[in-house]
Amino acid sequence: MADTGNVLPEEKYKVWWDDANQVARYTGVGDYDKDIALKITKLESELMDQRAATTNWLVDLGQNTNYSSEARKIFAEELSHKYTGKMAFIGASVFLRTVVNFVTAVSGKKDVKHFASEKDALEWLHQEG
């Protein structure tokens, strides 16, 4: 699968498969509202369904600022997708770490971690088990 991406309005949000690192990626800028969350989770689901295999995610939150309560609910539901594997988050502020931890707790997802660097995140994503 090629390194392809799906870009949302004004190229602020991107979901793609990173062939070189064998992970799905997400990056975005700004706030998340219900409409953006629905568009992002649709792209994520399409990517995982196309692969039809457990998919590990590297999520860069370095330029994100806020999640609406509706967006948090939508992302929590998406974490239960049958192909969602490990999720590594980089760049999250203290506030966004708290939001991510809340969303993952609501979803029951356990294999989620925050990292200071992309290198460390990728190493963890590639570890067995």
23-57 pLDDT, tens digit per residue, is 999 998 888 899 999 999 999 999 999 999 999 99
Position 5 scores a pLDDT of 57
- What is the domain partition of the chain in residue ranges? 31-120
Q: SS3 for 52?
A: coil
Residues in the chain, total: 129
Q: Which CATH class is domain 31-120?
A: alpha beta
Confidence of residue 109 (pLDDT cuts 50, 70, 90): confident
Query: Comparing C-alpha atoms, which of 96, 82, 88 is closest to residue 114?
Result: 88
pTM of the shown model: 0.87
Average pLDDT, the chain: 88
